[in-house]
Amino acid sequence: MPVLGTLDIRKWAEGGIAVYAGKDDESWVLKNTELLSLSIEIQPQARTLLPPGMHPSIPLCMVFSIARYPDTPVGPFTLAQGMIVGRIGVHPRGFALKSLVDSETARRELAARWGFPVSPGEAKIWTQYDRVRAEVRADGEVALACELLDRGPIEGSDIESLASANLAYSRAEDKLVLIQVEPQYEYHKAERGRPRLLSFDQAVWRTAGQVHFAQGIAATYAVSDMTLPPPRYIIDPERPSSQMPQPAA
């Protein structure tokens, strides 16, 4: 039998999710995006934080994505995400537990257009000669502190970017849906190093003590022009792709 997530999506939705307004054909172009991403292995039991429509990754891991967007259609903002990595079909996706954003306008648009589970928060990124560090705050307290150590240059094509999967309520369909968000990148600079987690607030990221970190996997830092296209795939969060109706031949 395939291994699937076991999250009770209705109970999860009671804790706060986005209301998806419906498809919009407008893409966002986000110039000179600065993005720090860390991937850290966690225990397999944390698949309780994945919806039943997703398969957990092996090994199961959590990805933190901290971004600074200085030039966007809604002005500058920062976005910090915590995601549990799984698969939808054969495609790796990060189930977004929480997205902390420091701009009210950006929060509104990210929720309505892409279903991001947004809450107020702010993020900062510092670059030093041997490391890149990020700190994320919510309600004035540190929610996440992490860093990339031993930074070294790589090609942007070497980065395997992770698309997110956002649980949201679709007003048009009057039901919960899983929205796949697939950014595209034109890299100006890319680096790789070792991830180091300095601080993590389980309550802020809605992990409720269910995440226990093991070995760090990888960390990347990049500067790019990023395009955020409209969602291509919106699926049932309780049904894996193998159980979806197949198109007629």
Q: Is the dihedral of CA 113, 117, 121, 123 positive or negative?
A: negative
Instruction: Give me the domain span that covers residue 186.
Output: 9-21+30-236
Residue 212 lies in a domain: yes
Question: Is 248's pLDDT higher than 60?
Answer: no
Residue 245 lies in a domain: no
Q: 92, 113, 103: which is closest to 28 by C-alpha?
A: 113
d(CA 245, CA 137): 43
pTM: 0.94
134: confidence class by pLDDT, cuts 50, 70, 90? very high
Q: Is the dihedral of CA 166, 160, 210, 136 positive or negative?
A: negative
246: confidence class by pLDDT, cuts 50, 70, 90? very low
According to DSSP, residue 51 is labeled -
Residue 109, pLDDT score: 97
Q: How far is CA 214 from CA 28, 41, 197, 210, in A?
A: 36, 5, 11, 13
86 neighbors 56 (Cβ within 8 angstroms): yes
Question: In the beta sheet, which residues pair with residue 92?
Answer: 87
The token duo for 190 is: 């890319």
Which single residue is written with the structure tokens 């209301």?
19
Residue 1, pLDDT score: 65
**pLDDT tens-digit map of 148-174:** 999 999 999 999 899 999 999 999 899
What CATH code is carried by the domain that includes residue 140? Answer: 2.40.400.10
Mean pLDDT of 6-34: 93
Q: How far is CA 22 from CA 26, 64, 98, in A?
A: 12, 27, 21
**pLDDT tens-digit map of 103-121:** 999 999 999 999 999 999 9
Count of the separate structural domains present in the chain: 1
Q: What DSSP string runs through 131-192?
A: EEEEEEEETTEEEEEEEEEEEEE--GGG----EEEEEEEETTTTEEEEEEE--EEEEEEEEE
Residue 115 lies in a domain: yes
Give me the helices (H) in the chain, please.
Answer: 9-14, 104-114
Which single residue is written with the structure tokens 């930074």?
151
Average pLDDT value over all residues in the chain: 94
